Amino acid sequence: MTTHEAREPAPTTVDPTPPDVPRHRHASELLRDAAAHPPPGPFRAQWWRSPVRGPWLTSYFGSILLVGIPVMFLTGLVSYASYDPQLAGNDTTPGKGILGFYLFSWVTNPSWIYRISQGTHVILGLTLVPIVLAKLWSVIPKLFEWPGVRSLAHGLERLSLLLVVGGAVFEFATGIADIEYYYPWKFDFYEAHLYGAWVFMVGFVVHVCLKLPTMWRSLQRYSLREIFTTPLARTRPESGDGHGLVASRPSPPTISRRGVLGLVGASAGAVFLLTAGGTVRALRPLALLSPRARSKGSGPHPEANDFEVNRVFAATGIAASETGEGWHLVLSGPRSVSLSRAELLDMPLATEVLPIACVEGWSTVQTWTGVRLVDLARLAGVDHAVEVEVESLEKPGQPFRSATLGSNQAGDPQTLLALHVNGEDISLDHGYPARMIVPAAPGVHCTKWVSELRFLT
Ligand SMILES: Nc1nc2c(c(=O)[nH]1)N[C@H]1C(S)=C(S)[C@@H](COP(=O)(O)O)O[C@H]1N2
Ligand SMILES: [Mo]
């Protein structure tokens, strides 16, 4: 009697395989074993006890992000296109070849287009932060799922989750750091935020494809009406779900679902109010999260110049004497011309109401007076629209010291070399003696302290 089939069956309470007997074990068995013995703490399902966590709540936040994230992505792509990175000198992003597949000459009309798209990108991005955090909170037990990978399919799902969560954290952190002027990293913001967006979107699309049916089903569990009529006292955990979100040992509720929605909604609303002043002038006094919105007018005409300043004159390293009587604008084209400020003011002047809209999300509409770029082109011997390199007094190497305008921008009759704003001289902070104002262009292409215009014929 040596075959083990013939042995006495072992009592069920005893492990039939003593630990010292080597025995081939299937991967599935190992996994079951691992699942039965997770490390302590958050890796154990019982550790997560919130009674409001569940598929409905996760799906509710998810449905907001399902709309919000694509808007972020599209306005981000628009933002990249608006830089006209295909024009020499505007962009050094390596390998943009593939990512730049959709680029086109940035438009000049309507003049408010970038104001709206970039304002949306930044204000919506900040407003979504509480919702992203709430969504992450609602799925946090999944991030500690044990074992981390159960099968190939499960592994791919987890990988997409890593891309979504990691990508979201990365994109929000770099975006916010950039607009709040606290950017502690060594890598370039534009490149990192652009590449990060594509990585994030790969994860996002996979995640949405995998979860959309679940989301749809889970949303049917409660109507919003039910949520808003259920007080704390009648708040119950969702029924078990097989998604690992509902607590197996829920603690008594301390907040209702409508309370959670109210808290997250109020946080998002507060962030919106503290940010929107960068675009909506009436909210400017509240714009605590939009730092530029709090800069004041300076120079001899502070009222006319009282709007957001990106780079102040004092930060440029330009000597005050370079902007005085000796300043001349150089036009380089078929003819080379040098013009003093007085000579520019003697030319036919045009007045246009146009925005400055920064990539940081703030924007402001002002009334500018100056010489049309098309008139300056004609002086330089150029009678058709060509690309123009705009140089400033700032020293080589300074970021944004120059920009290349597309021929459509240079040929637009609204494009000005502005000398006045709101009827007074432009202040040093806003670009005295002269600055570019280009309809619909991002602020960074409205070069201040202009010294030379090179018409690329
Ligand atoms: N020479 C020069 N021009 C510049 C900049 C700069 O740093 N140097 N910053 C640009 C950016 S990013 C913006 S948003 C606008 C802001 O103009 P403002 O400070 O007059 O509002 O100026 C642009 N022109
Ligand atoms: Mo800007």
Q: Could you read off the pLDDT of 336-353 as tens digits, one per residue? A: 999 999 999 999 999 999
- Asked whether residue 123 carries a pLDDT value surpassing 60, the answer given is yes
Q: What is residue 19's predicted lDDT score, i.e. its pLDDT?
A: 52
What is the CA(358)–ligand 1 centre distance, in A?
8
Q: Would you state the pLDDT for residue 271?
A: 95
On average, the pLDDT of the chain sits at: 91
Residue 285: exposed, middle, or buried by beta-carbon count in 10 A (0-12, 13-18, 19+)?
exposed
Query: SS3 string of 380-430?
Result: CCCCCCCEEEEEECCCCCCCCCEEEECHHHHCCCCCEEEEEECCEECCHHH
Question: Of 173, 160, 97, nearest to 132 (Cα)?
Answer: 173
Q: Residues 272-284: what's their mean pLDDT? A: 88
Q: What is the mean pLDDT of residues 240-261?
A: 91
446 CA → ligand 1 middle, Å: 6
**More reliable by pLDDT, 11 or 418:** 418
pLDDT of residue 377: 98
Q: Give the pTM.
A: 0.90
Please tell me if the CB atom of residue 400 comes closer than 6 angstroms to any atom of ligand 1: yes
Atom of ligand 1 nearest to the CA of 312: 19
Among protein residues, the one with the nearest Cα to ligand 1's atom 15 is 443
The band of 6, judged by pLDDT with boundaries at 50, 70 and 90, is very low
Q: What average pLDDT does this structure show over 124-151?
A: 94
By C-alpha distance, which of 411, 455, 457, 352 is closest to 112?
352
State in Å: Cα 323 to ligand 2 middle.
Answer: 22
Question: DSSP labels for 261-327?
Answer: HHHHHHHHHHHHHHHHTTT-GGGGGG-TT-GGGG----SS-TTTT-S--SS-GGGTT--GGGGSTT-
- Tell me how far CA of residue 20 lies from CA of 25, 32, 244, in angstroms: 14, 20, 35
386 touches 377 (CB < 8 A): yes
